[in-house]
A and B are shown apart, each in its own frame.
Chain A
């Protein structure tokens, strides 16, 4: 599993992805970790198949008992089907996820971990020295769906928004936005159902100061590519299957 530090201050953001050993037929995912002095948040920790490589990778940065928080942007299997295993590994951790999905996510197994339901209007994840904002991104694509914004690191974790289907050895940052568009188009048109939701999200996110837009699949956007992405997404027609 490749590890890339994307923010280094009093705490760190680390991106994990491009797992060379992942089974062929499952979609490649990016996992993100926020590591403070004594706590660790796993953002969209991934599917069952990813559990072992992911935990093994995190153990380079944090001991098991300092992995205190998990966040699931939505209910998809590539996001959080590993929950039942984390539940055994981290019995004292918290899972921050949509209240709307609680009864669904518990199917994965969540007996020890504390489920902290996120309300529709979002909230915060407090890691002691760091506070992260939970930004609503409903219907993009999931009906109860959240992003995470870190105003200090200026990183927006955007879940499936900004996702692209890439080869496993692709670089972690977009280096040619125009060339990247075709890898994103169908994903957004087909998985995102609502133009209205898309406009509301773009408007909201434009008001945030963002250095890195970090999606759950494909490459991250930084600098001007963040703005390019917002412009491109704003003008894209989504919900094309009907």
Chain B
């Protein structure tokens, strides 16, 4: 793997971590919005009857997202560690190969072979593990898209329900609006994560 490739790998993994922490913030906002909505719906009583189960559902979605992102974060951290190890192993291989070339006529030149073989072996192991983690991470990111999509559908329903809520119309509509926005943001961020990951060439 080349230096520039490692650079893009480091950047990709770091930007995933950044996007994920943003997703986390937004998921927390949703859960707050859900709690708000619940309070309003409670006060609105009969008028917002249809709204109450929706707020519970929004809350569930937010929780689910937070849990998923926590798992993904752990994965991303592993990916980062692997990136560091893999970078070091690749560096070692590159330098050991350079030693082999330079020491061709040295008395003990052949004694390096074991270290070189080990380093290559470990580098290949790392690359395999890395590829596996990337595909797992991509799958998990796809999972986060689901609650975000569902949240948007629910937001649309909430708007309809809000319209029945008389004087509470505005505040419930605002809730629906903010859930919709948040879901949109999560969707975009996760999408960014996925494209950052796909930049990494794991075929090597």
Contacts and interface: CB of A to CB of B under 8 A. Distances in A.
B103 A55 contact: yes
Interface in B94-117: 95-96, 98-99, 102-103, 106-109, 111-112, 114-115
Interface string B124-142: 0000000000000000000
B89 interface: yes
A59 interface: yes
Given A64-B115, A88-B119, A59 B109 contact: yes
A138 B192 CA distance: 51
Contacts of B115: 64, 88-91
A217 to B, nearest CB: 23
Given A52-B98, A84-B88, A85-B95, A65 B103 contact: no
A53 B102 contact: yes
A59 B108 contact: yes
B91 interface: yes
A57 to B, nearest CB: 8
A60 B108 contact: yes
Interface residues of A, number: 21
A51 B95 contact: yes
A20 interface: no
Most buried by B among A63, A88, A91: A88
Interface string B64-97: 0000000000000000000000001101100110
A117 interface: no
A91 B103 CA distance: 20
Contact of B103 (A59, A88, A90, A109): A59
Nearest to B84: A109
A89 B96 contact: yes
Interface string A216-240: 0000000000000000000000000
A79 B96 CA distance: 19
A64 B108 CA distance: 8
Contacts of A124: none
Contacts of B98: 52, 56
B95 to A, nearest CB: 5
B100 to A, nearest CB: 8
A116 interface: no
Given A55-B103, A56-B99, A88-B115, A63 B108 contact: yes
A48 B87 CA distance: 14
Of A53, A56, A57, A91, most buried by chain B (CB within 10 Å of CB) is A56
Most chain A CB within 10 A, of B91, B98, B102, B119, is at B102
B95 A60 contact: no
Given A64-B111, A65-B111, A56 B88 contact: no
The 10 closest A-B pairs by CB, nearest first: A56-B102, A63-B111, A56-B103, A52-B98, A88-B92, A59-B106, A63-B108, A64-B111, A59-B103, A60-B106
Interface of B: 88-89, 91-92, 95-96, 98-99, 102-103, 106-109, 111-112, 114-115, 118-119, 122
